[in-house]
Chains A and B, each alone.
Chain A
Amino acid sequence: MTTLLALCGAAAMASSGPIAAAARRVGPRRADRLWVLLFVVGASLAAFAALLALASGGDELRAHAPFPVGEVALGLDALSALFLIAVAGLGAACACYGLAYYPAALHPDSAGRLRTAFGLASAGLAMVLLARHSLVFIAAWETMAVSSYFAVAAEDRDREVREAGFLYLVSTRVSSLCLIALFALHWAASGSLLLVPLGAGQIAPQIQSALFVLALLGFGLKAGLVPLHVWLPPAHSAAPTHVSALLSGVLIKSGIYGLVRITSLLPEPSPWWGEMVLALGVVSAVLGVAYALAQHDLKRLLAYHSVENIGIIAIGLGVALIARASAGLDTAALALAGALLHVVNHALFKGLLFLAAGAVIQRAHTRSLDALGGLGRSMPATALLFLLGAVAIVGLPPLNGFVSELLIYSSLLRMVASEDGASWISAALAAPALALTGGLALACFAKAFGTVFLGAPRHQSVSDGSDAPAAMRAPMVALALGCAFIGLAPFALAPALRNACEAVLGSALAPLAAPWRAISGVALASLALSAAGGAWLWLRLSRRPAPRTVTWDCGYAAPTQRMQYSAASFAQPLVRVFSSALLPREYGSAGVAPFPQRSAFHSEVVDAALDRIVLPSAHAVVRLAARLRVLQQGSVQQYLVYVWIAVIALLAVGGVGR
């Protein structure tokens, strides 16, 4: 029942775009509204089904299809349901936001295509979560990947967008290739296309490890684990902002879902799987946030934070895998619950941050941090919402990021405290790395919030002096309320998380060993104490109003707005510390002579993995491929010869194999 309901939701989301396109004659505004209505109905159906599944445990649908598909299975268990809620919730929020942010009236040639791509990508993602059959999974995965490419490349008149879109498309192809290999190997080893848990001893451990490595490559590429993240920052900054929010908030989580699902099917995880995921998570978290710190572009900065958060999620998954291999089920459940909760949390606060950034970009017409400033004055609601998102993403109480990071930390600390073998050493190295990540994220969001919303405008024409329209504000408020709810009342989610962990770990679990009441106590206390202090100060000020004057300028007579600390100068001490990883490039020089001349200084950090590894090797492949061109002369006869040779070769190989 729940699966069927979710299937209907996905169908509604998928058909929303074509229906709106068919109803074009009613005018662009009505077509937009019709699309949003259909999409939200579909998303609500899916979310309702997911809630039912979280409460009741979900069900499966099986049907028989003709060769080569065989028996088809769809299912909705607590794990899928948790992801599906995030997809439906954030999808609906982004769709509503698009009504005011990307109206068809202003984007006549791309809005229709974008609507269709948006609906198909969301529906594809929902189907990925429902699929329990390799071929269904691949079909849904491809639908999601290709349609999200069209969503990313919506504004393809821009050269930068086309290049980012191409990089994204290539990455999705490589990812799909790995997944096809994964499912082929799974089929060859288990004899079934169904994605059901394998029995112990059914597949050799080496095959299981090969399946794990293929899953890590294919899904890691989608999720954006370092060094497979190269497509992520360009795609996020090129896409329209509400698409970036969807991409970052839920689409890249399909990689996390796939990794969790596939590892849950494999009965005997080797200890090194978890160590590897943990190591990749630590590297992604630290490097992701270090790169974010060095960015001057608001959307690129947020995109690198997705890499960081995927890293944090991977740390949780790694700990869960390690603990599962050593039969520490309680620790595994705690780590997994932290990782899954962080998936939901990241959808909420990253969605919120991207949407707030979109509101800024729409008003200020620039993404460059060094041109912004002082927007808190003209856009107070957006500023407050961005601040809430920033506090949440840094993992600070009283919002939701704190809850999931505390769960992941707790699992690491439990591993240090109670395990004896090699695993506690990895945990003891990962915990300080996570702390460093937290500190860097704090610096980065203090920078982003400070340079965009605080101080004085660095540029004259930065804003037309109005806040975001209500249609854009409402989805942001909804996401912020979600952040606050999980932060203040995390215990409400405890049963759902436990169900999801049971679905993954395949055995009944004790209630999660997390200090739920204490977390909400800390959150409430910090909120109450700060509110009390604020109220006292406000009363003081209203009794004795403070005179307003200029900022203390240290005796310098003519400070200008351009002399404020910029995003680049704020980040400079930390960029210098991480210079061996970030390889910052600096041009020009600051005037240091006794009589300073006119001088210019510019610094930038480009992605080392893209610039030094991916692009050079891609060029090498292209050069090699050019030599193969002699084979391809365009004559059909020649191609038929190739086909004939290939068939003979396959027959020969098959004969030898037999």
Chain B
Amino acid sequence: MSAMDVLAALLVPVFFPPLLLGVIARTKALAAGRRGPPLLQPYFDLARLFRKGMVLSRTTSWVFLAGPVVGASTALLASLFVPLGAQGSLVSFPGDLIAFAYLLALGRFFTIAAALDTGSSFEGMGASREAAFSCLAEPAAFFALLVLVKLSGSTSLGAMLGPDLPQHWLHGGPSLALAVVALFIVLLAENSRIPFDDPATHLELTMIHEVMVLDHSGPALALVGFGAALKLFAYGLLLVRLATPFEVGGTVSGVGVALLELLALAALVGLVESVMARLHLLRVPSLLVGAALLGAFGVMLLVG
């Protein structure tokens, strides 16, 4: 990797992710016939929150503040594992996909603990749902990644999504297509998008992620928002690289293409949110199990 690649891999995760949220919001507004907020609105929101003061509940302890901090820092670390374009990722070792998943899990653990620290039944409800749905999403993600492990014969994300990806599509196209669908469902679930969760509503009973962070304010809330954007970025990067295995020469154009694809993915998420309603909560597990089965079929197609 050249110095340019390293620089891109370090700077893009810090500055780019909030734009995805802006694109989603704009897409939803356009689909609903409104003009919508500026594309850079998430940046303005984050800057405003970072400047603001905080209000804390008397019930909470240090765990409440550890939630946003650990959530954002683990998401930042995890995003370094996913290759930005075909150049390979900044951090790569055999089995790094496990580290990727478990870093995000560490962030989730502390986010849930922070929600329970408030002693609010609403936040407890959100925490319970987050724990349930993300744990059902885990097998789906693993089956999808196993398709790639089998095809590439390698266990690091950098090599799995490396320059040989077009060949893998030739050998195991149907399996990879199933994996892409499964990963897209996982992306929607893990990032609390419709049909799993509705980030726009403010009716606490229907929400998952938003209701967990109800008590955070100021810089802590900004960290929560930044962490959520980073998580979307990391999953999205994984998905667009898998779905569009083309080779583009050079760091600048390679990274540029990857980022454009990410923006397109954000628009797609926005479209899904515009045309679908949130699922009944009891149906959510079925959809996640369905995603896991898609991934499992993908693996089964590689037998023989």
Contacts and interface: CB of A to CB of B under 8 A. Distances in A.
Interface in B289-304: 292, 295-296, 299, 303
Contacts of B128: 565, 569-573
B99 A397 contact: yes
A544 B53 contact: yes
Interface string A541-581: 10010111111111000010101110001111110110000
A397 B121 contact: no
A538 B94 CA distance: 36
B82 to A, nearest CB: 14
A47 B245 CA distance: 54
A416 B139 contact: no
Interface residues of A, number: 84
A446 B113 contact: yes
A600 to B, nearest CB: 18
Interface stretch (B31-39, B67-75, B161-169, B236-244): B67-75
Nearest to B56: A546
Interface stretch (B57-65, B250-258, B270-278): B57-65
Given A449-B113, A451-B116, A570-B128, A440 B135 contact: yes
A522 B77 contact: yes
Interface in A442-481: 442-443, 445-447, 449-451, 454-456
Nearest to B66: A534
Contacts of B25: none
B105 A439 contact: yes
A390 B105 CA distance: 13
Nearest to A409: B98
B117 interface: yes
A295 to B, nearest CB: 15
Contacts of A564: 119-121, 124
Contacts of B98: 405-406, 409-410, 413
A515 interface: yes
A543 B60 CA distance: 20
Given A537-B65, A574-B132, A432 B143 contact: yes
Interface string A488-530: 0000000000000000000000000101001101100110011
B96 A518 contact: yes
A414 interface: yes
Contact of B220 (A424, A447, A537): A537
B103 A522 contact: yes
Contact of A454 (B61, B76, B215): B61
A409 B56 contact: no
Given A406-B95, A438-B105, A546-B53, A416 B120 contact: no
With a 10 A CB-CB cut-off, give which of A416, A433, A455, A456 has the most chain B CB atoms.
A455
Interface stretch (B5-13, B147-155, B192-200, B261-269): B147-155
Given A533-B223, A550-B58, A446 B136 contact: no
A402 interface: yes
Contact of A394 (B72, B109, B146): B109
B56 A454 contact: no
A428 B146 CA distance: 7
Given A432-B142, A432-B143, A533-B72, A570 B131 contact: yes
Contacts of A529: 73-74, 76-77
Contacts of B102: 395-397, 402, 405-406, 438
A442 B135 contact: yes
A396 B285 contact: no
A377 interface: yes
A232 B152 CA distance: 42
B300 to A, nearest CB: 8
Given A518-B96, A565-B127, A573-B132, A548 B56 contact: yes
A198 B108 CA distance: 49
A443 B131 contact: yes
A567 to B, nearest CB: 10
A454 B117 contact: yes
B225 interface: no
Given A526-B103, A534-B69, A436 B138 contact: yes
Contact of B77 (A525, A544, A563): A525
Nearest to A413: B155
Chain B interface, DSSP helix/strand/loop, else mixed: helix
Nearest to A544: B53
B287 interface: no
Contacts of A635: none
Contacts of B120: 551-554, 559, 564
B141 interface: yes
Nearest to A575: B132
B134 interface: yes
A438 B106 CA distance: 11
With a 10 A CB-CB cut-off, give which of A436, A552, A559 has the most chain B CB atoms.
A552
Contacts of A234: none
A440 B141 CA distance: 15
Interface in A399-437: 402, 405-406, 409-410, 413-414, 416-418, 424-425, 428, 431-433, 435-436
A540 interface: yes
B95 A410 contact: yes
A374 B119 contact: yes
Interface string A366-379: 00000001101100
Contacts of B181: none
Given A397-B103, A548-B58, A565-B121, A376 B146 contact: no
A450 B127 contact: yes
B295 to A, nearest CB: 8
B1 interface: no
B47 interface: no
Contacts of A570: 116, 124, 127-128, 131
A353 interface: no
B119 A417 contact: no
| Closest 10 pairs (CB-CB, A-B) | A565-B124, A439-B135, A450-B116, A455-B119, A443-B131, A529-B73, A518-B93, A573-B132, A432-B139, A533-B69
30 contacts: A396-B102, A396-B106, A410-B94, A416-B146, A418-B153, A425-B303, A428-B299, A431-B142, A432-B140, A435-B101, A438-B105, A442-B112, A446-B109, A455-B116, A456-B59, A526-B77, A529-B73, A537-B68, A537-B219, A549-B57, A551-B59, A551-B118, A551-B119, A551-B120, A564-B124, A565-B124, A573-B132, A573-B133, A573-B281, A577-B136
Interface of B: 53-61, 63, 65-66, 68-70, 72-74, 76-77, 91, 93-99, 101-103, 105-106, 108-109, 112-113, 116-125, 127-129, 131-143, 146, 149-150, 152-155, 204, 214-215, 218-220, 223, 281-282, 285, 292, 295-296, 299, 303
Given A417-B150, A548-B55, 11 more contacts: A394-B105, A406-B99, A409-B95, A432-B142, A446-B113, A450-B124, A454-B119, A529-B74, A537-B223, A546-B218, A549-B57
